[in-house]
Chains A and B, each alone.
Chain A
Amino acid sequence: MGEQSPVLEMTGIRKVFPGVVALDGVDFRLFPGEVHALMGENGAGKSTLIKTLTGVYEIDGGDIKLGGRPVRISGPLQAQQAGVSTVYQEVNLCTNLSVAENIFIGREPRRFGKIQWGKMRQRAAELLARLDLDLDVSAPLSSFSLAIQQMVAIARAIDVDARVLILDEPTSSLDSAEVEQLFRVMRRLKESGVAILFVSHFLDQIYEISDRLTILRNGRLISEHRIEELSQVQLVEKMIGKELAALEDLEDKAQSNRERAAEAKPVLEAKGLGRAGAIAPYDLTIHEGEVVGLAGLLGSGRTELARLLFGADKADSGEVLVDGKRINLRDPQVAMKHRIAFSSENRRTEGIIGELSVRENIILALQAARGWTRPIPRKKQDEIVDKYIKALQIRPADPERPVRNLSGGNQQKVLLARWLITEPRLLIIDEPTRGIDVGAKAEIQRLVAELSDGGMAVLFVSAELEEVLRLSHKIAVLRDRRLVEELENTADVDADRIMQTIASGATS
């Protein structure tokens, strides 16, 4: 690879936002036919570096060379024309348009100026087939889960004839099967000489697919390596700038505490709860201090199941009992009255309120529960918010910054804080560690374990089976929008055992 010249060379890139130096003299290069991982903690500057390259942000210093020639890219469209195709971290498609329209928006197949709808749908279906997806391409994108939306964004990006393909956390809500599929496509592109920039917080994925990696910390370049030069432990140490021992401690603690309190009372029982087209009627009981994990493939109905328990969607059959008493869960407000909390997987449209500050976002649910006539005194707000900014290491630690200016992982932490301060009895968290870096992830897992030890019931949804296994007392396995098995997470239960259930669809 050394003899080749880089297709992309960024030198001394500097980007300043009011109050933060997001990038400080960062060098980055990308060779044809390689997968290059960009690594760093939440807020390290990965997405910002990508956006300076694609012209979303104007750089405050430095040079960008593409194919050996200096360029100044003034916007995403120009980037695409220059052969740089991007999947941004936050899926930014038009959810009210169809899947096919989303894939071809701005470059629809035309004949005599007229869009050829039939051809467009056909080509969209072919493209998705390359990713092993079989969807109704004329359905609006909003009718599909976030994971599918992410796949559609990827399909769009790989169809553009690109020299450089940028994937900013494309796998954050995908299951292993989809990730494999994506990797197959990436390898094919790589062989044809495309240079791929890949961001992910999953170290295993990084080691499986990348050839080289560049590490950022606090907006500074730390180093660049060939992947075989660096062990996972060394990598993490370089990312966090500390010895790793502390981190491993956390993981051990999370693992060892999975003894459940005997005689725990049920907090919530669902009986025959279901919603046509979303999830078949199911029974589920969650006890005090219990962590129930949901496992299943993409589209198996995990999120749909969880949403019914919060009244985010309305069930059309069955009932919900809290403390043995039936409740009418017609909307989230009712759920919150019974101290049930729910953090959606879709943080951009169902979680954060972008223009409000970190502080306002954190206190929002608590304030909503108190009603508008009883504002939380400002001093108390500051106290709570400071405490959680510290506990969850939200960075930058500035409560008055608009939350949309935070990095993806830090936004996720803000949402977690929003629900934790309501002191729920049942915490439903859908993909709470999505897009969160290794250190913070261990921190959040530890927190969940601690909260459940303190008596909080938790329903934990994650595409990452390891995580579900590590935290849960009980695992509910879903398949084809049906709860097929509930198993105690005893020593003999492992990922294989669960994958078996998922594959065979056993009912017990």
Chain B
Amino acid sequence: MTTILKHRLFWPSLILVVMLGVNAFTSQQFVTIQDGHLFGTLIDILRGSAPLILVALGMTLVIATGGIDLSVGSVMAISGAVACLLISDLGNQNSIGSVLLIIGVAILVSLALGLWNGALVAIVGIQPIIATLILMVAGRGVAQLITDGQIINVRSDPYSTLASGFFLTMPVAFLIAAGAVALTVLLTRKTALGLLLESVGGSPTASRLAGIGARRITVMVYVVLGGFAGLAGLIASADIKSADSISAGNLIELDAILAVVIGGTALIGGRFSIIGTVLGAIIIQTLRVTVVAVGIPPEANLLFKSVVVVALCLSQSPDFRAKVFGRFKSRPAVEKVGVPA
């Protein structure tokens, strides 16, 4: 029992279960089957969390190397803009082949944006927060240029499937995110990438002297994040059937960083937990839904969110846990004597 209590992810998991419980209680339909697929609040949460899971996954890898990427929201906007622009030019917007091709193009563009970030960080040597700030600001502009300042609407069933489709009773968006999780786990834990990442994040100097090609690895994680952010941008834009270059992915970098931190990966880099991040992302999405479900007034939303986040972060701090739980440990009380100066 105590070992479960001590597990890093115990408190986040507990909070998630409690919030889901609240939702199960308040919502009319938590999980049911309708039209041959799953339906209800739980499924909405899973579907809605897909973009955040994708972005947070990539962010985990970047943070593990001791970096950070603020430009993910802009990458989402650009990828959505590129896709919608191309789809709106199609003669037949419902052509599956063309839409797939366009999705591929948008992802390639996103990968290139990731490469740009990675190069600035690893090759030019700019601090990650500054390097990615460039694309964060400029990227929105680029997205607006692509859409000509307009909101581009599309009417493409194959494209909408990305966000609202179902496959084998599960939402497609969630399946995509799950696939990305599986891919990331494979990429980092079945190869030596995870170890090398953690090593670079733990000590860049020592890693270089151990012969690790830190540059290539650093570039790679930014590229992976670029790709995941691009995919997230497509899902988000498919969800609203349009490209809105101003609000797409707005402030998602903060939620993604939060998800990573809740999942127990330290911002200074080193050890990372993919499962923790996924849990973190789902918690954040559940929180959004719960706030609405229990009828917390919209003005108090952010405050409520902060309280939960602070509680979660405290529960992850070894010092804090030692202080709180230390009190309950049976230990001979020692009188604290003032130190003579």
Bound pair (A, B)? yes
Evaluate contact between A372 and B209: CB separation under 8 angstroms: no
Evaluate contact between B211 and A333: CB separation under 8 angstroms: yes
Q: Name the A residues within 8 Å of B192 (CB-CB).
A: 367, 370-376
How far is A368 from B212 in the complex, measured between Cα atoms in Å?
5
For residue B302, CB closer than 8 A to chain A, the reply is no
Interface residues of B in 195-239 (CB under 8 A from A): 195-196, 198-199, 202-203, 205-213, 217
Evaluate contact between B207 and A67: CB separation under 8 angstroms: no
Nearest A residue to B270 via CB reads A355
Q: How far is the CB of A241 from chain B (nearest CB, A)?
A: 32
CB-contact partner of B196 in A71, A331, A368, under 8 A: A368
Evaluate contact between B211 and A369: CB separation under 8 angstroms: yes
Nearest B residue to A349 via CB reads B205
How far is A364 from B271 in the complex, measured between Cα atoms in Å?
15
- Residue with the greatest number of chain A CB neighbours at <10 A, chosen from B209, B213, B270: B209
Interface residues of A in 359-387 (CB under 8 A from B): 360, 364-365, 367-376
For residue B300, CB closer than 8 A to chain A, the reply is no
Q: Name the B residues within 8 Å of A336 (CB-CB).
A: 211
Check A372/B203 contact, CB under 8 A, given A67-B340, A72-B336, A332-B208. no
Q: How far is the CB of B160 from chain A (nearest CB, A)?
A: 37
For residue A69, CB closer than 8 A to chain B, the reply is yes
How far is A335 from B336 in the complex, measured between Cα atoms in Å?
56
Q: How far is the CB of A246 from chain B (nearest CB, A)?
A: 34
Q: Name the B residues within 8 Å of A374 (CB-CB).
A: 191-192
Q: Size class of A's contact patch?
A: 35 or more
Nearest A residue to B198 via CB reads A356
How far is A356 from B270 in the complex, measured between Cα atoms in Å?
8
Evaluate contact between B217 and A372: CB separation under 8 angstroms: yes
Evaluate contact between A355 and B209: CB separation under 8 angstroms: no
Check A349/B196 contact, CB under 8 A, given A81-B341, A375-B191. no
CB-contact partner of A81 in B191, B196, B212, B339, under 8 A: B339
Q: How far is the CB of A9 from chain B (nearest CB, A)?
A: 14
Evaluate contact between B211 and A332: CB separation under 8 angstroms: yes
Interface residues of B in 52-80 (CB under 8 A from A): none
Evaluate contact between A373 and B270: CB separation under 8 angstroms: no
Evaluate contact between B193 and A372: CB separation under 8 angstroms: yes
Evaluate contact between A368 and B211: CB separation under 8 angstroms: yes
For residue A28, CB closer than 8 A to chain B, the reply is no
Evaluate contact between A354 and B202: CB separation under 8 angstroms: yes
How far is A354 from B270 in the complex, measured between Cα atoms in Å?
10
The digit string for A78-110, where 1 denotes a CB below 8 A from any CB of B, is 100110000000000000000000000000000
Check A82/B195 contact, CB under 8 A, given A342-B209, A344-B209. no
**Interface residues contributed by chain B, number (CB under 8 Å):** 28
Q: Name the A residues within 8 Å of B211 (CB-CB).
A: 332-333, 335-336, 365, 368-369
For residue B5, CB closer than 8 A to chain A, the reply is no
How far is A365 from B212 in the complex, measured between Cα atoms in Å?
7
Q: Name the A residues within 8 Å of B341 (CB-CB).
A: 81-82
CB-contact partner of B206 in A81, A352, A367, A369, under 8 A: A352
Check A353/B334 contact, CB under 8 A, given A69-B340, A332-B211. no
For residue A351, CB closer than 8 A to chain B, the reply is yes
Interface residues of B in 235-249 (CB under 8 A from A): none
Q: Name the B residues within 8 Å of A72 (CB-CB).
A: 334, 336-337, 339
How far is A504 from B330 in the complex, measured between Cα atoms in Å?
67
How far is A355 from B203 in the complex, measured between Cα atoms in Å?
10
Nearest A residue to B340 via CB reads A69
Check A350/B340 contact, CB under 8 A, given A376-B192, A418-B210. no
Nearest A residue to B193 via CB reads A372
How far is A368 from B200 in the complex, measured between Cα atoms in Å?
11
For residue A66, CB closer than 8 A to chain B, the reply is yes
Evaluate contact between B206 and A350: CB separation under 8 angstroms: yes
Evaluate contact between A350 and B195: CB separation under 8 angstroms: no
- Residue with the greatest number of chain B CB neighbours at <10 A, chosen from A82, A336, A364, A369: A364
How far is A22 from B336 in the complex, measured between Cα atoms in Å?
23
For residue B190, CB closer than 8 A to chain A, the reply is yes
Q: How far is the CB of A145 from chain B (nearest CB, A)?
A: 15
The digit string for B320-339, where 1 denotes a CB below 8 A from any CB of A, is 00000000000000101101
- Residue with the greatest number of chain B CB neighbours at <10 A, chosen from A310, A352, A354, A367: A367
Evaluate contact between A312 and B195: CB separation under 8 angstroms: no
- Residue with the greatest number of chain B CB neighbours at <10 A, chosen from A67, A69, A336, A353: A353
For residue A164, CB closer than 8 A to chain B, the reply is no
Q: Name the B residues within 8 Å of A73 (CB-CB).
A: 339
Q: How far is the CB of B322 from chain A (nearest CB, A)?
A: 9
Q: Name the B residues within 8 Å of A318 (CB-CB).
A: none
Q: Name the A residues within 8 Å of B217 (CB-CB).
A: 372
Evaluate contact between B205 and A364: CB separation under 8 angstroms: no
Evaluate contact between B337 and A312: CB separation under 8 angstroms: no
CB-contact partner of A70 in B190, B195, B206, B337, under 8 A: B337
Nearest B residue to A373 via CB reads B191
Q: How far is the CB of A91 from chain B (nearest CB, A)?
A: 15
Interface residues of B in 289-341 (CB under 8 A from A): 334, 336-337, 339-341
Evaluate contact between B196 and A372: CB separation under 8 angstroms: yes
Q: Name the B residues within 8 Å of A71 (CB-CB).
A: 337, 339-340
Evaluate contact between B196 and A69: CB separation under 8 angstroms: no
Q: How far is the CB of B304 from chain A (nearest CB, A)?
A: 34
Evaluate contact between A356 and B202: CB separation under 8 angstroms: yes
CB-contact partner of A351 in B193, B206, B271, under 8 A: B206
Evaluate contact between B196 and A353: CB separation under 8 angstroms: no
Q: Name the B residues within 8 Å of A335 (CB-CB).
A: 211
The digit string for A327-348, where 1 denotes a CB below 8 A from any CB of B, is 0000111011000001010000
- Residue with the greatest number of chain A CB neighbours at <10 A, chosen from B196, B199, B337, B339: B339
The digit string for B164-206, where 1 denotes a CB below 8 A from any CB of A, is 0000000000000000000000000011110110110011011
A-B contacts, 12 of them at CB < 8 A, read A67-B340, A72-B337, A310-B209, A332-B210, A335-B211, A349-B205, A350-B205, A354-B202, A355-B270, A356-B195, A365-B211, A372-B193
Interface residue ranges, A against B (CB under 8 Å) = 66-67, 69-74, 78, 81-82, 310, 312, 331-333, 335-336, 342, 344, 349-356, 360, 364-365, 367-376, 418
Q: A72-B334, A356-B199, A365-B211 are in contact. List 13 more A-B contacts (CB 8 A).
A: A74-B339, A81-B341, A352-B206, A353-B199, A353-B207, A368-B196, A368-B207, A368-B212, A370-B192, A372-B192, A372-B193, A373-B192, A374-B192
